[in-house]
């Protein structure tokens, strides 16, 4: 009944027609007759086309709509069946939205972990490089002192 499109939950005029037991052209007409602002209509109802196999590939119009568009449309539908379908669609929209939130949160957590790992590794490498530079300065001092001590500690033979 609902799909995810670029991170947004949507449905179609076909799904509405099927769910409410209406003819698609009646749902399409109902959308066209909605008394909402053009801005709302443009944000929540997208006219789409698909090939109609029954009419030799002639494009067939339908609407893709957001949750807000769907709710605006079906609030006018009445009857016990309509009420039940409204609940089911709301549940489906909310379930899909929750799935998208979980995916987003999971990616955000992974992003934060990667940032932390990157920072720690960068600091580790930076310290290693800094320590290597200090070693280059300290190494000759150590070697010189070690050589001096080795010479002083080595027994000296007096040759006659």
Instruction: Provide the token pair at 158.
Output: 């007096």
135 vs 28 pLDDT, higher one = 28
Q: Write out pLDDT tens, residues 56-101.
A: 778 888 999 998 898 889 888 888 878 887 788 788 888 888 888 8
What was the pLDDT predicted at 103? 82
Residue 42 included in any domain:
yes
Instruction: Provide the domain count of the chain.
Output: 1
Residue 117 included in any domain:
no
53: left (phi over 0), alpha (psi -120 to 50) or beta: alpha
Residue 133 included in any domain:
no
Residue 92 included in any domain:
yes
What was the pLDDT predicted at 71? 85
Q: Counting beta carbons within 10 angstroms of the beta carbon of residue 71, is it exposed (0 to 12), middle (13 to 18) or buried (19 or more)?
A: middle
What was the pLDDT predicted at 160? 57
Strand residue runs (E) in the chain: 3-5, 8-12, 45-52, 58-66
Q: Are 79 and 92 in contact (CB under 8 A)?
A: no
Residue 128 included in any domain:
no
Residue 119 included in any domain:
no
Q: Are 59 and 50 in contact (CB under 8 A)?
A: yes
Residue 114 included in any domain:
no
Residue 58 included in any domain:
yes
Q: Write out pLDDT tens, residues 89-135.
A: 788 888 888 888 888 888 877 888 888 888 877 777 777 777 777 77
Tell me which residue has tokens 């939205």.
97
| pLDDT tier at 151, thresholds 50, 70, 90 | confident
Q: What is the phi/psi pair of residue 52, to 5°?
A: -100, 105
* Alpha carbon distance 16, 70 (integer Å): 8
Average pLDDT over residues 145-154: 75
Range of the domain at 67: 3-104
């Amino acid at each position: 009944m609902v799909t995810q499109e670029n991170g947004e939950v949507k449905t179609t005029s076909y799904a509405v027609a099927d769910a409410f037991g209406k003819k698609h052209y009646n749902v399409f007409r109902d959308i066209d007759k909605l008394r909402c602002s053009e801005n709302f209509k443009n944000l929540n109802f997208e006219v789409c086309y698909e090939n109609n196999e029954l009419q030799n590939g002639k494009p067939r119009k339908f609407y893709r709509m957001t949750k807000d568009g769907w709710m605006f449309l079906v609030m006018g539908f009445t009857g016990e069946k309509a009420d039940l379908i409204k609940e089911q669609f709301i549940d489906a929209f909310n379930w899909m939205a929750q799935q998208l939130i979980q995916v987003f949160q999971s990616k955000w957590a992974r992003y934060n972990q990667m940032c932390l790992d990157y920072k720690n590794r960068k600091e580790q490498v930076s310290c290693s490089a800094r320590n290597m530079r200090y070693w280059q300065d300290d190494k000759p001092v150590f070697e010189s002192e070690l050589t001096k001590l080795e010479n002083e500690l080595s027994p000296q033979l007096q040759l006659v």
